[in-house]
């Protein structure tokens, strides 16, 4: 089968088993370094993506991605119309009335400060996907019902059907004893578990009861918008700017932006550090090819005397260097994918386990993985340029003068 001379000679050099053992040793470690670097990079990147995705699904699903604040003179009919308009948008997953307040939950066991969020019946609820015990129907339809996370329920030592005192420091009334914060007993009707930070400082009450405690009219509420993709909030605000004009709004970055920014920064730093392994392996390609050029000067001179052009000589060593890069990239990609897919089984076989028996989340971002593979191949190609250029500059007359 026909193939270019440069490709044929380059592949012969790459697969040659005889010759300078030290050069072969460096070539092997350049392939191994690229493979190990890519395997680690793909595994860590996939786990970090899975961790970020699980945080988004668990935590950001419970808080508004975009919160529209109504002015006091807005009519209830205007709010209902806006709710219908927003729910018909393709990017929107859920639109509900929104009422919230910072409160203190008190039992005989403990007291804890949380953000209490109202959930209105007749609208889709984010709690349904995370219910551990209790009835969503009882919670939504009866008065003064409370939904607690498993973490808060354990901290307050309460179970379903027990009472929890809700104290509202921002709303108070005058009594013969002086100014007293408004308070009311709520019944625990629902226990949920998201396995995220939201479990620590977020609780839910039925919306109408919370409105009464806050002394609001039935139509006095904000609007909570949950998007299909929480990270597309800026695009949503830009695309639908005419609809949102005249309204005051905020997004989830206000409450949780710092956490996700820290996760994103950690992912970039880890990728950079692991990428250095690949870069070091690429430098091994430069070293191996440079020594190969010195070793093969006689053969290069003979090839030139037989009519092989300097450009073709350069392509011979480019093929040899790219062979190491392609083989290392292929092995690293396959091993990285297999390791990331079975990371929890590998940890279990190694006797390692996360606290509480939790498993590492894994999510493959094919665009990022493709970028990693392409970057590895490009770096391998760039590493061949200098040794190939030096090989093309070999002068046959000088090399063969004393042969």
- Which of the listed residues 234, 252, 270 is the one where a domain comes to its end? 252
Model pLDDT, residue 358: 65
Q: How many CA atoms lie within 13 A of 295 on its CB side?
A: 15
Q: Are residues 277 and 387 in the same domain?
A: yes
Domain membership of residue 143 as a residue range: 66-252
Number of domains in the chain: 2
Residue 20 has a pLDDT of: 55
387 and 328 belong to one structural domain: yes
- Closest to 141 in 3D by CA, of 188, 207, 217, 63: 207
Residues 96 and 204 in one domain: yes
Cα angle value 321/397/6 (rounded, 5°): 30
207 & 295 share domain: no
Domain contains 61? no
Domain termination site, one of 223, 252, 281: 252
Predicted confidence at residue 8, as pLDDT, reads 66
Exposed / middle / buried, residue 334 (Cβ in 10 Å: 0-12, 13-18, 19+): middle
Please indicate, yes or no, whether residues 299 and 360 belong to a single structural domain of this protein.
Answer: yes
Quote the pLDDT of residue 76: 47
Residues 355 and 277 in one domain: yes
From 252, 281, 306, the end of a domain falls on: 252
Task: Supply the pLDDT for residue 397.
Answer: 64
Largest alpha-carbon pair distance within the chain?
114
pLDDT tens per residue, the chain (403 residues)?
345 776 667 666 666 655 556 566 777 777 888 888 888 888 888 888 887 777 777 777 777 788 887 655 555 446 677 777 887 788 888 888 888 888 888 888 888 888 888 888 777 777 777 888 887 877 877 888 888 888 888 888 888 888 888 888 877 766 666 677 778 888 888 888 877 777 788 888 888 888 888 888 777 778 888 888 777 777 888 887 777 777 777 777 777 767 777 777 877 887 787 778 778 777 777 777 777 777 777 777 777 677 777 777 778 778 877 888 888 889 988 998 998 888 888 877 777 666 555 677 788 888 888 888 888 888 888 888 888 787 777 766 666 665 5
Identify which of 384, 385, 313 has the alpha carbon closest to the alpha carbon of residue 30. 384
Global model pTM greater than 0.75: no
Q: Are residues 194 and 118 in the same domain?
A: yes
- The tokens for 130 are 């995370």
Query: Taking the CA of residue 142 as centre, how many other CA atoms within 13 Å lie in the half-sphere pointing to its CB?
Result: 15
């Amino acid at each position: 089968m026909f193939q270019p001379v440069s490709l044929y000679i380059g592949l012969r050099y790459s697969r040659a088993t005889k010759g300078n053992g030290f050069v072969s040793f460096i070539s092997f470690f350049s392939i191994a370094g690229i493979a190990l670097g890519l395997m680690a990079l793909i595994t860590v990147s996939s786990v970090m993506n899975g961790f970020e995705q699980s945080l988004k699904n668990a935590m950001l699903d419970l808080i508004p991605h975009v919160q529209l604040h109504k002015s006091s003179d807005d009519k209830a009919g205007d709010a209902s119309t806006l709710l219908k308009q927003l729910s018909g948008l393709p990017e929107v997953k859920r639109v509900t009335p929104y009422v919230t307040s910072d409160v203190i939950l008190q039992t005989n066991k403990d007291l804890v400060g949380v953000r209490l969020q109202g959930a209105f019946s007749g609208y889709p609820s984010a709690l349904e996907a995370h219910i551990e015990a209790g009835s969503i129907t009882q919670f939504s339809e009866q008065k003064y019902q409370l939904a607690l996370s498993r973490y808060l329920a354990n901290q307050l030592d309460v179970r379903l059907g027990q009472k929890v005192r809700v104290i509202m420091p921002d709303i108070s009334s005058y009594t013969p004893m002086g100014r007293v914060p408004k308070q009311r007993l709520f019944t625990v009707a629902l226990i949920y578990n998201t396995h995220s930070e939201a479990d620590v400082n977020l609780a839910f009450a039925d919306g109408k009861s919370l409105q009464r405690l806050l002394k609001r009219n039935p139509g006095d509420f904000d609007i909570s918008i949950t998007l299909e993709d929480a990270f597309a909030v800026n695009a949503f605000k830009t695309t639908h700017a005419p609809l949102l004009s005249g309204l005051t709004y905020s997004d989830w970055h206000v409450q949780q932006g710092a956490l996700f920014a820290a996760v994103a920064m950690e992912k970039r730093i880890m990728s950079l550090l692991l990428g250095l392994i690949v870069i070091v392996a690429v430098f091994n390609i430069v070293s191996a090819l440079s020594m190969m050029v010195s070793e093969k000067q006689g053969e290069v001179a003979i090839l030139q005397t037989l009519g092989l052009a300097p450009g073709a000589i350069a392509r011979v060593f480019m093929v040899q260097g790219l062979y190491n890069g392609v083989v290392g990239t292929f092995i690293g990609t396959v091993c990285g994918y297999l390791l990331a897919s079975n990371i929890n089984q590998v940890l279990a076989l190694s006797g390692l386990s996360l606290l509480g028996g939790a498993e590492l989340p894994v999510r493959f971002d094919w665009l990022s993985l493709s970028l990693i593979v392409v970057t590895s191949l490009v770096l391998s190609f760039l590493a061949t340029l200098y040794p190939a250029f030096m090989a093309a500059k070999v002068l046959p007359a000088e090399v063969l003068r004393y042969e």
